Copies of this chain bind each other. A is one copy, B any other.
Amino acid sequence: MTIQSPIWRSPITSSDRVLLEIQRAIVEGDIPAGSKISEPELARRFDVSRAPLREALARLERCHLIERTPNAGARVVKLSPEGLISLYQLREELEGLACRLAAENMAEKEIEELGALLDQHLNTQRVREGESYYQEEGDLDFHYRIILGSKNAYLINILCDELYFLVRMYRVQLGMNGPRVSRAFDEHKAIIMAIANRDGELADLLMRRHIGASRKNIEIQLQQIRNEHDISN
């Protein structure tokens, strides 16, 4: 089961279904980055008419997974180092803010659940050593809850509905889930404590560092990939 937007519309229409399928396909690379989107083809493939398909495309554009040009159609976005940096610059600010607001606005119960979640992930990780998919999901779940805890509707929308699919796409397609597992747990723990102490300023700072560290880690891996690529050519 994949993590998806925490705010999901109750009655599911055709376009919702198609959106979910295409989102997954793009994030996991089944529809390759940079490739052209053909409306007739996708409509056949998912057995719907072009109306709900186009509705889905509009929402895919919203979460930056495709780019559309009038009369010319849509393409899946290309992943680039610049894009990744831009994305993480934004996340540092926005999730920092989310943390500060979460420290002010989260209910005690929510904070308890957040702590329980972390313990649970720690156990899962101990049992399934090296199996990084669970860590991936656990990490996103952690970030989601804090974002939701901010109670800022615009912030929630931007992070959960618009940017996080891209984050997942970068992670999945560049295979970024590596060695930072244990350190991430410690950082998560510290963030939760700051929130529990209602210390918004510290929670903010720690989250910025956490994402900054994550970004640097990814940049290193990305540089390695680029080097390998240069050698093989």
Chain A interface residues toward B at CB < 8 A: 9-13, 16, 51, 54-55, 58-59, 62, 64, 69-71, 83, 86-87, 89-90, 93-94, 96-97, 101, 152-155, 157-158, 162-163
Query: Of B59, B153, B162, which is within 8 A of A86 by CB?
Result: B153
17 sampled A-B residue pairs with Cβ under 8 A: A9-B69, A9-B70, A10-B70, A11-B71, A13-B71, A54-B55, A55-B58, A58-B59, A86-B153, A86-B154, A89-B152, A90-B152, A90-B155, A90-B158, A93-B97, A158-B158, A158-B162
A11 neighbours in B (Cβ, 8 Å): 70-71
A68 — nearest CB in chain B belongs to which residue?
B9
A97 to B87 alpha-carbon distance, docked (Å) = 12
A90 — nearest CB in chain B belongs to which residue?
B154
Secondary structure at chain A's binding surface: helix, strand, loop or mixed? helix
A101 touches B83 (CB 8 A): no
A2 to B90 alpha-carbon distance, docked (Å) = 28
Q: How far, in Å, is A18 (CB) from chain B's closest CB?
A: 14
Q: A87-B154, A90-B94, A90-B158 are in contact. List 17 more A-B contacts (CB 8 A).
A: A10-B70, A11-B70, A11-B71, A51-B51, A55-B58, A58-B58, A58-B59, A62-B62, A64-B154, A64-B157, A86-B152, A86-B153, A89-B101, A90-B152, A90-B154, A90-B155, A93-B97
A83 touches B10 (CB 8 A): no
A204 to B108 alpha-carbon distance, docked (Å) = 33
A50 — nearest CB in chain B belongs to which residue?
B51
A87 — nearest CB in chain B belongs to which residue?
B154
Q: How far, in Å, is A72 (CB) from chain B's closest CB?
A: 9
Q: How far, in Å, is A66 (CB) from chain B's closest CB?
A: 14
